[in-house]
Every structure is written in structure tokens, then in C-alpha cells.
Chains A and B, each alone.
Chain A
Amino acid sequence: DQQVKQNSPSLSVQEGRISILNCDYTNSMFDYFLWYKKYPAEGPTFLISISSIKDKNEDGRFTVFLNKSAKHLSLHIVPSQPGDSAVYFCAASAASGTYKYIFGTGTRLKVLA
């Protein structure tokens, strides 16, 4: 049972345009969410987080939106750059102290120059 889903395995975007990566979850107990970027043969790198008390969090070119009623979050990258090409994972946790994150299956973003 996949509790965190990223239904688009891949996405191609032109440089300078907006990239939108989506993530859905099923467990209503999840209340903290992360996005990670992963290059081949490297560990995931933390990008941005959001807690369930917010519906938006911004950090430079990256913005995460959370829609709790729809159990959906999205990562917007504006403007997209070729260096953003990587696999993006969303992850969710119930912040009740177990420190356990469930990861989505990832979306491979390719930014075309």
C-alpha cells in the first residue's frame, strides 16, 4: 500500500519555465512533508519542507503548496534551470515522535536548455 504517491514518473520542462511536481498521500495522520532532490549515485538533498499548519512555504525558486483536504502537495520551481534536472521525492511523516518518513516513488525532472 503506497501511502505517498507521485503519479508522474517523469517531467520535461523548458529552461526558464515553471516546473510543477505533484505528490498525493493517503494517511490523514501525516502532518509534516518534505521534498528532496537526488542526483545519480548521491544521497537525497533536502529542498524544502512544510507542516500541516501552513498551506504554502517559499524558499527562493522553490515553493511548496499543501492542500490538506485533497491530501495533495506540489513543488513549484520557477524559473527552472538545467541544474534542477534530478529525481525529486516527496516524503511525509506523522510528527508524533517516530521520526519515520514515507517516501514517494519520485519524479524525474529534465530541464531542457
Chain B
Amino acid sequence: DTEVTQTPKHLVMGMTNKKSLKCEQHMGHRAMYWYKQKAKKPPELMFVYSYEKLSINESVPSRFSPECPNSSLLNLHLHALQPEDSALYLCASSPTGTAKGYTFGSGTRLTVV
């Protein structure tokens, strides 16, 4: 299995809703990431988990809450989002101890209404 699987593929949520994005990989990668990509912009790093511990938080607002329940799963909990948070949310994973390439999931297209 050489894939990173993200669910759901599309999500529409209201500003008062609580929802979660899920990411799963079975490649034995111990580093997992959340990126946010707005239209016509590069992916921007949000969070990095290494060995299930949060190692980088790129000053992301608290309405985004990551969780890494085990080495294969990464969640992003969403609460009280704003319309400007609408974007493609990408999960990625990589082996630790190396800068070699990530494997990206296909993303969740989030629309906040």
C-alpha cells in the first residue's frame, strides 16, 4: 500500500458546525502533515506530527485542532470555521529522519458557508 487516503473528498460545513477530516496511511511512515492550499497558491504547511507527537504548528488558529491517534491515522478537527478557511486540505506522510519526498493524499475540498 503506497497511498495516503483522505476522507471525505468534499465537505460543506456551516460556521457553527464541528467536523473532522481524516487521513490514513499504511506505509509505516512516522511523519504526517496537514497542508492547506488555496486556489492558485502553493500548499502551506499547517502541522507536522513525528512519532505521533505534534512537532510543528505553523501558528494555525485554534479552530483547527489536529490529532494523531496512532501511527497510521491523522485527524483534523474543525470548529467555528470562517468562509476564508475554504480550501483544499492535503494530508501527507513521509519516513522520518530523511528529507525525501512526501506522499500526498488527494485532499479534502472544504467549503465553509
Contact = CB atoms under 8 A, between A and B. Distances in A.
Interface of A: 4, 31-32, 34, 36, 41-46, 49, 51, 89, 93-95, 97-101, 103-106
Contact of B100 (A41, A43, A49, A89): A49
B109 A89 contact: no
Given A41-B109, A43-B105, A43-B107, A103 B43 contact: yes
Nearest to A105: B42
B69 interface: no
Contacts of B43: 44, 89, 103
Contacts, number: 64
Given A99-B48, A99-B94, A100-B48, A46 B31 contact: no
Interface of B: 4, 6, 31, 33, 40-45, 48, 50, 55-56, 88, 90, 92, 94, 96-107, 109
A104 B45 contact: no
Given A42-B107, A89-B42, A106-B42, A101 B102 contact: yes
A110 to B, nearest CB: 15
Contacts of A46: 101-104
